Amino acid sequence: MKTELKLLLPALRRFAYSLTGSMADADDLLQNTVLRLLNSPPAAGVPLAQWAFKICRNLWIDDYRAQKVRHNATLQAELQQENFSDGELDMLNQIQLDEVNSAMNTLPDEQREVLSLVAVQGLSYQEAASVLAIPAGTIMSRLARARAAMVTALKLNGGLA
């Protein structure tokens, strides 16, 4: 399990970041997720990835309900990771990334979760449905609404779309 968990860490970290919007909060969430996974491994027959994403999401929900300020913290510039070199292309890429991140942060939580699992993490609709414990049809519906909202938000901001 530890070897499989090591391979899963980058995807879990990206998922945690998509939920929190902050690398510092994402790293904390990742650490708590790994700790919970080590103390409470999945039952026989349950894929580790699905179990890990579900634990990560549930921990985030618990923390979100407790603090209610996470959304405001994601908008603070000093919490964003700025790790790029000089150059016009890097600057343009960073601007586009910031626009996409801002647009994702305007989505309702359930749409942002689905968009992150399917579009960023590459999970199938069925896998995402299993992680979120909702029907696959709901995944498709939320994903369609999230994509439409992202296109609208990016067009309004003169972004990618």
Distance separating alpha carbons of residues 116 and 66, to the nearest angstrom = 22
Give the pLDDT of residue 29: 93
What pLDDT, on the 0 to 100 scale, is given for residue 15?
92
Domain limits, the chain: 1-81, 82-161
pLDDT at 69: 53
pLDDT score for 70: 46
Work out the number of other CB atoms within 10 angstroms of the CB of residue 132.
19
| Contact (Cβ atoms closer than 8 angstroms) between residue 37 and residue 131 | no
pLDDT in tens, the chain (161 residues): 788 989 999 999 999 998 888 899 999 999 999 999 999 888 888 899 999 999 999 998 888 766 655 455 555 555 555 544 556 667 777 777 788 888 888 889 899 999 889 988 888 999 999 999 999 999 999 999 999 988 888 887 665 54
Q: Find out whether 120 and 14 touch, Cβ atoms under 8 Å.
A: yes
**Around 47, how many Cα atoms within 13 Å sit in the side-chain half-sphere?**
10
Residues 6+ apart with CB under 8 A from 130: 50, 54
The per-residue pLDDT for 54 is 92
Per CATH, the architecture of 1-81 is what? Orthogonal Bundle (1.10)
Residue 84: what pLDDT? 46
Fold of 82-161: Arc Repressor Mutant, subunit A (1.10.10)
